[in-house]
Structure 1
């Protein structure tokens, strides 16, 4: 074995986990089949909010840990891709949220004049909205500054990584369905439309829990992201033209100026949902190595990324002991 840790998977979960490990003094390689801009993370609308993720008893702590990181990163949005942006969660009530909500500064019930027609309840919040192409590049640079290395490499089994490191961390998202033989993993397909922003400065979301349709728009630099869908068990990656038209129409009912916005592109991605919720646990590998799982984050990978990275890194620390090189610190 030539190193401490190999993290497999190059999306936001893999990158943040690798950063936490590298900044604690570990020797870290990150192996990824796809470039960061080709992962599901790159497609995400990326509003911080615990959405479609279990188990609820742990999600709150993971989400808040990540929120604190993003709040610091928002001081330099051009570099990190993180901004604090106000908006409305239509149809949501504070009483329906977990204890974590009390620790989100400024989160409150929306006033009647802040709600679109047809909604009688909602929440106002100023929370992180993350420009994922920029943020993924920032994560990669932070990992490299901490001494981690990135390798474009697909694997057929975790044994390939276990031959080269004492600990292997599985951050492969839907790939864990085959690599970890986990049939609890299923895709939840999301489709987006990118348009020129007609002047919208606040985000909006409304989730229809009774259907696969959601309605949201997120103002990102140079574009407005419109969504969306939550189609369970759907593996299609090609955007559907009819779905795109429906997304545009739903968003335009909230903000009519969206109807005339010029379309810049279409995106589709597969959220890695898991029936039993996020899996963060360790298991032995043949030859004395350790495999740590960190996958199944559903629609909230960005929201819980740093909290889950710390949890996975803690398991690695138990196996590896204190790093000989001491702790490295990357700039926030």
Structure 2
């Protein structure tokens, strides 16, 4: 059975996980085709605020390893922000303990320290410079990197993984994996973002109130993304006006200049949450290899490169 080495691989799913996995495979010598239902600009990944942080993802130890490897790569991509859409931006992560972060980040986070009461009066927090990825710029750049490596992208709707015409299939279908892999543990967590004209905010901020409500501010070129929501098992992609009003109100409570900022658009996405990421080799009914790679929740961008390298190792196992 062909393991994929110097052979065809079909990656099903064109979000950030699928594209990154395809790039790694193509740059390691595989002939890679991505089958995606939607162009990259209309995937769930395109909606993300895209701050690097291991958010709602497990298993924790693996996720942190994947995240730190991805951090290393994003740091290099941030040297060319105009091309890649990746920047290193300072900001505050509220309700976070410095000692706990230092325990797993091991000196990897630039400028990491406790916040002062003047910086963040809502409670304990940490300040750091983290990758902030402009997804409308980054995803097309990632697509072009795949094409330069010899990969191809086809817009196809897949109803069964067995439809993929290759010796090895990589299942990066996110929320659709619940159906395609018969995995009932995959469920949606709905996120909503309000995009406004930036009134001058140049640092990011993530804050979580005692009742669990979030306020997130992510400055991107020409706009400011305000979040957010995390609604379990809600599948509606229609923006909720009341939720949007509440998002703006919570963000304005932290940064008053946001109040009255002109709204440019509303974005809604469904995070593909699972108890833990599924990353394993299996067999299709006809005996071909399938590598399942899904369940990244709200941290797909954060772990994409580290996770993709591990997935590629399952497609292209080391020679004995």
TM-score for the superposition, normalised by structure 2: 0.95
Distance in 1 (CA, whole Å) between partners of 2:36 and 2:78 is: 27
CA drift at 1:95: 2.8
Among candidates 41, 48, 56, match of residue 52 of structure 1:
56
Identify which range, 96-105 or 193-202, moves more after superposition: 96-105
Matched, 1:170 2:171: yes
> In the alignment, does 2:161 pair up with 1:158?
yes
Q: Which residue in 1 is equivalent to 2:279?
A: 280
Matched, 1:260 2:260: yes
CA contact (8 A) 2:22 2:151 kept: yes
Superposed displacement of residue 305, structure 1: 0.3
Contact kept, 8 Å, 1:61 with 1:100, in 2: the verdict is: no
Q: Separation in 2 of the partners of 1:160 and 1:65?
A: 33
Which of these residues, 126, 133, 138, is aligned with residue 135 of structure 1?
138
Q: Offset at 1:209?
A: 7.0
Q: Note the alpha carbon deviations across 1:83-134, whole angstroms, 9 max, x for none.
A: 000000111112333743222232221122211x3x2310001010000010
Aligned position for 1:223: 223
Instruction: Return the alpha-carbon distance in structure 2 between the equivalents of residues 243 and 174 of structure 1.
Output: 23
| 1:245 aligned residue | 245
8 Å contact kept, 1:44–1:132? yes
Equivalent residues of 1:60, 1:99 under 8 A apart: no
For residues 129-175 of structure 1, give each alpha carbon's deviation from its aligned partner in whole angstroms, at most 9, with x where no partner exists. 000010000000000000000000111111111xx211100000000
Q: Deviations over 1:257-308 (max 9, x none)?
A: 1011000010110001002x11100101233310001100011000000011
Q: Distance in 2 between matches of 1:288 and 1:235?
A: 34
- The alpha carbon displacement at 1:208 in A equals 4.1
| Aligned residue in 1 for 2:112 | 107
In structure 2, stretches of 5+ residues that fail to align are none
CA distance in 2, matches of 1:222, 1:43: 16
Residue-by-residue CA offset, 1:30-75 (whole Å, 9 max, x unaligned): 0000111111100000000011111111111000010011000001
* Partners of 1:94 and 1:101 within 8 A in 2: no
Per-residue deviation, 1:79: 0.6
Query: Retained in 1: the 8 A contact 2:68–2:105?
Result: no
Q: 2:71 aligns with which of 67, 70, 73?
A: 67
Q: Distance in 2 between matches of 1:21 and 1:6?
A: 10
Structure 2 residue 296 is the aligned partner of structure 1 residue 289 = no
- 1:25 maps onto 2:24 in alignment: no
Tell me, yes or no, if the aligned pair for 2:94 and 2:207 is still in contact at 8 Å: yes
- Give aligned pairs, total: 315
* Corresponding residue number in structure 2 for 1:318: 317
Displacement of 1:244 after TM fit? 0.3
- Where 2:298 maps in the other structure, the secondary structure is coil
- 1:13 is matched with 17
